[in-house]
Amino acid sequence: MFEFAWPWMFAALPLPWLARRLLDAATHRHDAALRVPDIADFGTVAAAPRLRASAVQGFALAAWALLVVASANPRWLAQPIGVTASGRDLMLVIDLSESMQVKDFLLNDEPVDRLTALKKVAREFIERRTGDRVGLVLFGEQAYLNVPLSFDRATVVQMLEETEIGLAGRSTAIGDAIGLAAKRLRDQDAPVKTIILMTDGANTSGQIDPLRAAKLAQSAGLRIYTIGIGADEMVVNQLFGRIRVNPSQDLDEDTLRTIAKETGGRYFRARDVADLEQIYAELDRLEPVARDEEHFRPVHALYPWPLAAAVLLAGGLAWRHARRAA
* Total structural domains within the chain: 2
Residue 58 lies in a domain: yes
In a domain, 10, yes or no: yes
Same domain, 229 and 256: yes
**Same domain flag for 109 and 214:** yes
Residue 93 belongs to a domain with what CATH number?
3.40.50.410
pLDDT at 60: 85
Q: Which residues of the chain have pLDDT under 50?
A: 34, 36, 39, 41-51, 287, 289
Same domain for 62 and 24, yes or no, is yes
Max CA distance (Å), the chain = 124
Note whether 253 and 310 are same-domain residues: no
Asked whether the beta carbons of 191 and 86 are under 8 A apart, the reply is no
Residue 243 and residue 123 in one domain: yes
Cβ atoms within 10 Å, residue 306: 19
Residues 68 and 210 occupy one common structural domain: no
Domain extent at residue 277: 83-284
Are both 110 and 217 inside the same structural domain? yes
> Is 292 within a domain?
no
| pLDDT, position 266 | 93
Neighbours of 171 (CB within 10 A): 18
Distance separating alpha carbons of residues 267 and 42, to the nearest angstrom: 99
Dihedral class, residue 56 (left if φ above 0, else alpha if ψ from -120 to 50, else beta): alpha
226, β-bridge pairs: 197, 267
In whole angstroms, what is the distance from residue 205 CA to residue 171 CA? Answer: 6
Half-sphere exposure of 219 (CA within 13 A, CB side): 8
Interval 155-194: pLDDT, tens: 999 999 999 988 888 889 999 999 999 999 988 887 889 9
Question: What integer pLDDT is reported at residue 45 of this predicted model?
Answer: 46
Residues 134 and 107 in one domain: yes
Q: Is the separation of the CB atoms in 237 and 206 below 8 Å?
A: no
In a domain, 234, yes or no: yes
Q: Is residue 290 part of a domain?
A: no
Look at strands 2-4 and 133-139 and give their pairing: unpaired
CA separation for the pair 134, 185 (Å, rounded): 11
Instruction: Please say whether the beta carbons of 218 and 259 come within 8 A.
Output: no
Q: Is 28 exposed, middle or buried (0-12, 13-18, 19+ CB in 10 A)?
A: exposed
What's the Rg (C-alpha) of the chain? 35
Residue 178 near residue 222, CB atoms below 8 Å:
no
Same domain, 262 and 301: no
Does residue 221 lie within any of the structural domains?
Answer: yes
Give yes or no: residues 73 and 92 share one domain.
no
161 and 178 fall within a common domain? yes
Does 63 fall in a domain?
A: yes
Give the dihedral sign, CA 203/209/212/214: negative
Residue 291 counted as domain residue: no
Question: What per-residue confidence (pLDDT) applies to 136?
Answer: 96
Q: Are residues 208 and 156 in the same domain?
A: yes
